[in-house]
Amino acid sequence: MEKAQIEDISRSVLSKPGKDIPAGIVVFLVALPLCLGIALASGAPLISGLISGMIGGLVIGILSKSHTSVSGPAASLSAVVLVAINTLQDFEIFLLALFLGGLIQVILGFLKSGMIADYMPTSIIKGLLAAIGLILIFSQLPYALGVEMDDSRILDYSQDFFSGVKEKIMVLAASFAPGALVLSVISLLVMVFWDRTPLKKIKLLPPSLFVVILGVLLNQLFKFFIPELYLSGVHLVSIPEINDISSFLTFPDFSAITSFQVWTYAFTIAIIGSIATLLNLEATDNLDPHKRRSPPNQELVAQGIGNTLAGLVGGIPITSVIVRSSVNIEAGAETKLSTIIHGFLLAISVLFLSSVINLIPLATLAAILLLVGYKLTSFTIISRMYHKGWSQFVPFAVTVIAILMTDVLIGVLIGSASSVFFLLRGNYYNPFYVEETNFNNKRKTIRLELSNEVSFLNKPAIKRTLWNLPKGTRVVIDASFSSYIEPDILEIFNDYKNTFAKENQIDITITGLRENYSPKNEVVVDKKEIIDKNELKTPRQILHYLEEGNKRYVDGNLVSRRFQNKELKDFIKVDPLAIVVNCIDMREPLNMLLNSGIGDLIPLKAAGSLLDTHLINSIEISCREQGARLILIMGHSNNTLIKNALKNLLEKPDDPISPIVQPALDAGVFVRENLNQLDIASLTDKISIWNMDYSQREIIRSNPYLKKEIGENKIGLAAAFFKRKNGKIDFYPLFQESMV
């Protein structure tokens, strides 16, 4: 899609009503049963789920800057709500915690805390979701089986999940409704095999809505044909009939505002809700076909206002929800108008369809949530985490078990602590790359290449390595690739060099250290076009890519590339970008100078950067057979070979003239008789630059294939001059452009 079209989409919520209105209807059909089901899983009044769905669509939908994200009650917070209501023992007190949690979210948004989700390890998030999945499954089993439970027998997850398991199983086995079991099994089978039926082609009929409708119809059939399976009373959804606006609103109990537990759950809701929202927002932006980015801090403010309002009128916590958001995108939504429409339709259903909604069996909603719970904690997810290694699996498993045995907030903190342990362990063993050499039985040399950032977490490993080196060792510490080194580490190097190394005859050299280091709080983005390597199609783009690479080199933004042979083979499978011809006097690594990838460049060496027929033929073969699309002739300052040739010409006039300065002399670049009056250093650079131009013209003159390809702009030909003093490379235009 063109840039102008994307800007037009973001200009107004009314820009694409033809796509947004149908998408809003589809999202409403998906959200209606989920709002009821999640309220059921949360142990809250079912009307609270619909209230939050309305707020998520109408309020957050208007305030959010996201184009496609849809907010509403989510399964990720159902366990928190279930625990909070059971612990606080009053829904009105819970609403106070939700109200305060919303205010905390607003504050987090104004404090620009939108990056907090980036610091939460994936293993912890997956562990949280898996634990929620298990709690969903076990909390919905009573409804799926039709077990009638009063307050004294309800499944309580506020404390140890495993306490009283035997008693709970006996309660389930002793009392259940056969009709609920039948509806649960049928609903699960329909959803599991949905994609194998023709029904999947009906876009306006999501499986969750279909099983709700099917559950209502089957239960009505049971009433007339199989009465023993008929469900009524406590087995059905029960939301109040709306006579006036106050009949379905519940208000918070502000008298409990000094309660420590209220504030604990307020922070729990704010933190977990914010993380869930930010993760879902990132996932939604990745699904957006236009790849628009949603401002996370604005989203936190919008979610906070929504949760504050939900706490005031009787809702449950709201987050951005990936299920509804993905459905919204798949349905073709372009702007947030679809989100607002879905909220409006939820409000209409509450106001005018409460009698119809009350016909829905709880067993059908439970079946939907059982499947959600299974997807969150399936064997496939556990297997994937296991195969990622112990550093990922252990925090995942610890988080799951800790949440089940304590509560969500404490469980996440315990899981995070285990993740920090592996982080510290990884930093202990991997702060640098160690290379050992021992040539001709001479003294051993140890080279330590420091990582990009070296912090206090790396102190133990650095001290362990340095202080365990044997006497007489030669040590080279290379800080060339480090953008930041903490003062503590620099002090360690100082102490080691001035005391321990001297006392133990250790020869230590530290290279690449900067005069000062300061952590960068902001990423400075070059406002020029940033080139994606996969989009390098033309010679001009490749030349620009190399020019930008050298700028990064000059700025010190280097990445150390260390690979084993097997990994190197993967790079050389891709066609090279360019052939670079430079002088044998230049030993600086091209990949560093141009900050290019492994295998991007094919280096050719020629004295004085002068090409002969053999080298030009090699260039042709590389372009024809290997796919190189740019020929770069590179000279460099202070060329020792050219300088020595000029000095020899001045001091020994009878000796033969060196071939690397002969063409320049013949062309009148300098006059031999006036050589003693010229600055040799300046003339050296002048000849080096002239040789580059001479080699370009030789390629055009002597090779018909390259002349044709360069003329048709299929292959580029350019020159560049490397300044040794500062590492900067001056790039000249493509050869054809320079001739204009």
pLDDT digits (tens, 9 = 90+) for 193-209: 988 888 877 766 778 77
The per-residue pLDDT for 5 is 43
Give per-residue pLDDT as tens, 693-730: 999 999 999 999 999 999 888 999 999 999 988 889 99
643: confidence class by pLDDT, cuts 50, 70, 90: very high
Cα angle 84, 89, 91; round to 5: 75
Give residue 12's pLDDT band: very low, low, confident or very high (50, 70, 90): low
Burial (CB count within 10 angstroms: exposed 0-12, middle 13-18, buried 19+), residue 531: middle
Question: Strand pairing of 507-511 and 484-485?
Answer: unpaired
In the predicted structure, residue 9 carries a pLDDT above the cut 70: no
- CB proximity list for 187: less than 8 A, separation 6 or greater: 211, 214, 215, 363, 364, 367, 368
What pLDDT sits at residue 698?
93
pLDDT at 385 over 80: yes
**Between 532 and 660, whose confidence is greater?**
660
**Can you give the pLDDT at residue 123?**
82
126 pLDDT above the threshold of 60: yes
**Higher per-residue pLDDT: 449 or 431:** 449
Q: What is the pLDDT of residue 150?
A: 45
Residue in 311, 344, 271, 328 with CA at minimum distance from that of residue 70:
328
Confidence (pLDDT) at 518 = 65
Return the pLDDT at 8.
43
Name which residue leads in pLDDT, 471 or 562.
Answer: 471
Domain topology for 432-511: Transcription Regulator spoIIAA (3.30.750)
Higher pLDDT pick, 422 / 98: 98
CA atoms within 13 A on the CB side of 249: 13
Say if residues 121 and 416 touch (Cβ distance below 8 Å): yes
Would you place residue 304 in the very low, low, confident or very high pLDDT band (cuts 50, 70, 90)?
very high
For residues 103 and 218, give the distance between their C-alpha atoms in angstroms, rounded to a whole number.
Answer: 44
Distance CA 438, CA 525 (A): 43
Helix, strand, coil abundance in the chain, percent, nearest 5 = 60, 10, 30
What average pLDDT does range 491-498 have in this prediction? 87
> For 321-363, what is each residue's pLDDT tens digit?
876 787 677 667 788 898 999 999 889 888 888 788 788 888 8
Question: Concatenated DSSP letters for 300-337?
Answer: HHHHHHHHHHHHHHT---EEE-HHHHHHHHHTT--STH
Neighbours of 503 (CB within 10 A): 9
Query: Are the C-beta atoms of residues 733 and 540 closer than 8 Å to each other?
Result: no
So what's the pLDDT on residue 489?
Answer: 85
pLDDT of residue 563: 53
Q: Are residues 571 and 562 in contact, defined by beta-carbon separation less than 8 angstroms?
A: no
pLDDT over threshold 60, residue 149: no
Look at residue 288 and tell me whether its pLDDT is greater than 80: no
Contacts for 167 with CB less than 8 Å, ≥ 6 apart: none
Task: Give me the chain's average pLDDT, please.
Answer: 81
- The pLDDT score that the predictor gives to residue 293 is 78
pLDDT value at position 303?
A: 94
Task: Report residue 524's pLDDT band, with 50, 70 and 90 as the boundaries.
Answer: very low
Q: What distance in Å separates the CA atoms of residue 64 and residue 419, rounded to the nearest whole number?
A: 33
Predicted confidence band at 437 (pLDDT cuts at 50, 70, 90)? low
CB contact at 8 A, 363 and 183: yes
Token pair of 409, please?
């907030």
| Percent of all residues in the chain with a pLDDT value above 90, rounded to a whole number | 30
Question: 259: helix, coil or strand?
Answer: coil
Q: Where are the domains of the chain?
A: 3-414, 432-511, 533-738
Q: Which of 189-203, 222-236, 253-267, 451-465 has the lowest mean pLDDT?
A: 451-465
Give the pair of three-digit tokens for residue 279. 């993760």
User: Is the predicted pLDDT of residue 438 greater than 80, yes or no?
Assistant: no
Q: Phi and psi (nearest 5°) for 252?
A: -70, 155
Q: What is the rounded distance in angstroms from the CA atom of residue 729 to the CA atom of residue 593?
A: 8
pLDDT value at residue 565: 55
pLDDT tens per residue, range 587-615: 888 888 888 877 888 999 999 999 999 99
3-state secondary structure of 380: helix
**Helices 122-145 & 260-287, crossing angle to 10 degrees?**
110
Strands 630-636 and 578-582, sheet pairing = parallel
pLDDT at residue 142, rounded to an integer: 83
Residue 109 is predicted with a pLDDT of 92
pLDDT band for 737, please (50, 70, 90 cuts): very low
- Looking at residues 36-58, what average pLDDT do you find? 89
Please say if the pLDDT value at position 562 is more than 70.
no
Q: What is the rounded CA–CA span in Å between residue 242 and residue 353?
A: 9
Could you tell me which of 66, 9, 109 has the C-alpha nearest to residue 324?
Answer: 66
Residue 276 tokens, joined: 């869930």
Please state whether beta strands 507-511 and 601-605 pair in parallel, antiparallel, or not at all (unpaired): unpaired
| CATH class belonging to 533-738 | alpha beta
- 208: tokens are 């969750």
Q: Which residue has the higher pLDDT, 513 or 618?
A: 618
Asked whether residue 561 carries a pLDDT value surpassing 90, the answer given is no
CA distances from 523 to 7, 269, 519, 605 (A): 25, 31, 11, 38
User: Residue 523 — very low, low, confident or very high, per pLDDT cuts 50/70/90?
Assistant: very low
